[in-house]
Structures are given as C-alpha cells and as structure tokens.
Amino acid sequence: MHVHIPLLLRRVQGRKMVIAPNALDGELPNATSKLQQAVIQAIVRANSWCKLLEEDGKGSISDLARKLEIDNSYLKRILTLSTLAPEIIEAILNGEEPDGLSLNRLLKPFPESWEEQRVMFGFQNSKTEQQSIES
C-alpha cells in the first residue's frame, strides 16, 4: 500500500516547516503562514527609512540612526534591501520566494543589477521564460 500526500517543505526562520495542502473547502485553519515575517518587516523598514532619508534631503545615515536610536551598521545593512528588484519584493510578499531565501542571505552583499539579483537569489528571470513559452 502506498499513500501519497502532497506537501511542501520550506525553510521558515531557519527551520524546516511542512506546509500542508489546501483543504477541500479552502485554506487550512490554524496553518502556519508561508510568509517570512522578518524578511517582510526588514523590507518595509528599508523602504520607510529610505523615504525618511529622501525627505530630509540633507540628513545622513548616521543622523537617521541617531534619530531612530539604532545602530548605524544595522541601518546600512537594512537599507540595502530598498534596492531589491520589484519582482523579488513582490514574490517575498506573496510567499513565493525560492527555498533558502532568508533575511541573512538578503543582508549579504548583492549586485545592483536587478537581473543579477534575480539570478543570485534563484529567480531565474521568470518573465523571459514565460514569454518564450507563450511564443
């Protein structure tokens, strides 16, 4: 006898989680979220802090860190997330990022080019692949 149960294994906050399939009538109640809240929170902070820097005009990162009462190096690391490709941010917000994409990995140096970011983080230019499939 073989039993087949469709499921998804995903790393969430450094731990492997089993994501159960949808129930027949919709989402499973009490199921853990597929979203990485720490990553989402860091992206939101990055964009918020970037906006504060732009609004101030003359302010520096050091000034903003003092104003927010946070470490200067932490602020710089988080601010790099504001340069992520929009498709990467959208995938993270939808819980559709590739396995292994964590906040720790996102805070390591990455290229400025959005195409190079997609390759580095495992988003193999899905738009180009979709266009070639449709053609």
pLDDT digits (tens, 9 = 90+) for 25-82: 455 555 555 678 889 999 999 999 999 998 877 778 999 999 999 999 999 999 999 9
Q: Give yes or no for a contact between 99 and 11, defined as CB atoms under 8 angstroms apart.
A: yes
Q: Specify the pLDDT at position 96.
A: 86
Which two tokens mark 29?
Answer: 């109640």
Q: What percent of the chain has pLDDT over 90?
A: 42
What pLDDT was estimated at residue 99? 81
Q: Which two tokens stand for residue 1?
A: 């006898």
Entry field: residues in the chain: 135
List the Cα angle 99/101/102 in 5-degree steps.
Answer: 125
pLDDT in tens, 61-73: 999 999 999 999 9
Q: What is the predicted pLDDT for the residue at 108?
A: 93
| Closest to 103 in 3D by CA, of 28, 11, 9 | 11
Q: How confident is the model at residue 101 (pLDDT cuts 50, 70, 90)?
A: confident
What pLDDT score was predicted for residue 128? 45
For 133, list phi and psi in degrees, rounded to 5. Answer: -70, -40
Q: How far is CA 12 from the centre of its chain?
A: 12
* pLDDT above 80 (res 133): no
Distance CA 128, CA 113 (A): 16
pTM: 0.67
pLDDT, residue 85, reads 94
Domain ranges within the chain, ordered by starting residue: 43-83, 84-124
As beta bridge partners, residue 19 has 8
